Structure 1
């Protein structure tokens, strides 16, 4: 086996799982209790799921905190039928962990991430940096590049942003995102919301919605614009520090022009949820 990870390190199980060893130290905590401290994790991709998760050798987790699940689910993870409840100081978290079927991943246990599914371990670290929602995919790249392109954003014919100093974020599997200085955005046409999301590559985002009554569009009452159409990272992770406090729009639901050329509205994993919010 090669010393460094390559495409050949990715392996396939008969159940259709993809997996590969990771060289990162990974820790998972529930509150202040360290449940996982692993130097030999594996990354696992389930069929049809675009992001990976971690599984860990038994001897690198606190198995004394696990109990056979009282109400194991069905169909939540590929072929899995062995689940565990996590019990810490009288607190029980149902179906917090599970094992995968087959020989390839025998001896490993996976855990849910609270920020992803609403249960499981609260805090995760790769080396000493906290990560959120799901593990970082080693086959995915995120670059934040300052640019002098001319970017204009319109909503229902109203010009809401115009800049020649954007930061372009290129993220594998997603459309280019255009991050714009606040001074170049008509932020008076939007209102902050209490919505937030976490990203393992960029950090925690805050959001704004299009104000109702802006030329017939709004965030309610049959609005043509879904809520939380703008986001920003006030404290981005170091790798994308160039986007700090800049504002980005969902390409999926606004009209963006770059250097005079209209950008086609993409279809992404976010399209369905944005459309559903719009219809609601």
Structure 2
């Protein structure tokens, strides 16, 4: 639908970043004007477009601000697309997932020999000194561990997957203790993006959903996240 080396990354407070493409780099022959318009106090009136490839019709998949309000960056000659309505997005040859990457967010993957123990239903399900600690802006520290240092006999593969713009596509395991089965409690990245290569194949437990995680014998405080209430 679009291919450019001159995209704008539109960043607004409390919003995900959005790519805007120069109209000249958009396949306009696939665009169909829509009756839908939306209002934004900082950008103006958005005119929406559907996409018709001749095989697939996608309603209201793109939008454009033909006459942005005063103070808005000059985006009248640019168009954007609804991320979830497109099949794939790429930066150069690397596929990007979920949304455009936030220029103010970063991840750091640091190997650590500190002892990490994971306790679930009173049982120790992981014990490792070969972890990688992942620090991500706005998120709690995650402890990625070799699967050989976990109770793999408790694991069962899940069909669930999730996507992250900063790490890639993750797969999951269910974990069954003597007490109960915990759905999608553990995840891993079989083929992470370049910035997260150090966690390739390592597993991570939802800290919010286990009894506790200890690092060098000290319990790590839990932080509230979307997983705290169970979102699977």
Q: 1:151 to 1:76 in 2, by over 3 A?
A: farther
Query: How many residues get paired?
Result: 225
| Partner residue in 1 for 2:192 | 236
Match of 1:217 among 180, 186, 199: 180
| Partner residue in 2 for 1:261 | 218
Contact 1:206/1:233 (CA < 8 Å) preserved in 2? yes
Measured on the aligned residues, the alpha-carbon RMSD in Å equals 2.3
Q: CA deviation at 1:133?
A: 1.5
C-alpha distance in structure 2 between counterparts of 1:46 and 1:55, whole Å: 13
Contact 2:51/2:58 (CA < 8 Å) preserved in 1? yes
| Partner residue in 2 for 1:3 | none
Q: CA deviation at 1:266?
A: 0.7
Give deviations 1:94-150, integer Å, cap 9, x for gaps. 111112453423222111223xxxx2x212111222222211222211111111011
Secondary structure of 1:242's counterpart equals helix
Q: Please tell me whether residue 275 in structure 1 is matched to residue 229 in structure 2.
A: yes
Q: CA deviation at 1:206?
A: 0.4
Contact 2:173/2:185 (CA < 8 Å) preserved in 1? yes
Secondary structure of 1:241's counterpart equals helix
C-alpha distance in structure 1 between counterparts of 2:123 and 2:166, whole Å: 32
After TM superposition, the structure 1 = structure 2 runs for residues 189-208 of structure 1, keeping only pairs within 5 Å, are 189-208=154-173
The runs of 5 or more residues in structure 2 that have no matched partner are none
Q: 1:168 to 1:68 in 2, by over 3 A?
A: same
Match of 1:143 among 102, 108, 132: 108
Q: CA deviation at 1:68?
A: 1.4
Secondary structure of 1:252's counterpart equals helix
Structure-2-length-normalised TM-score: 0.87
Contact 1:253/1:265 (CA < 8 Å) preserved in 2? no
Structure-1-length-normalised TM-score: 0.73
Secondary structure of 2:2's counterpart equals strand
Match of 2:48 among 83, 98, 103: 83
C-alpha distance in structure 1 between counterparts of 2:17 and 2:134, whole Å: 21
C-alpha distance in structure 1 between counterparts of 2:166 and 2:55, whole Å: 34
Q: Please tell me whether residue 38 in structure 1 is matched to residue 4 in structure 2.
A: yes
Secondary structure of 1:90's counterpart equals coil
C-alpha distance in structure 2 between counterparts of 1:276 and 1:233, whole Å: 20
C-alpha distance in structure 1 between counterparts of 2:143 and 2:219, whole Å: 13
| Partner residue in 1 for 2:207 | 251
C-alpha distance in structure 1 between counterparts of 2:181 and 2:39, whole Å: 39
| Partner residue in 1 for 2:123 | 158
| Partner residue in 1 for 2:143 | 178
| Partner residue in 2 for 1:106 | 76
C-alpha distance in structure 2 between counterparts of 1:42 and 1:252, whole Å: 37
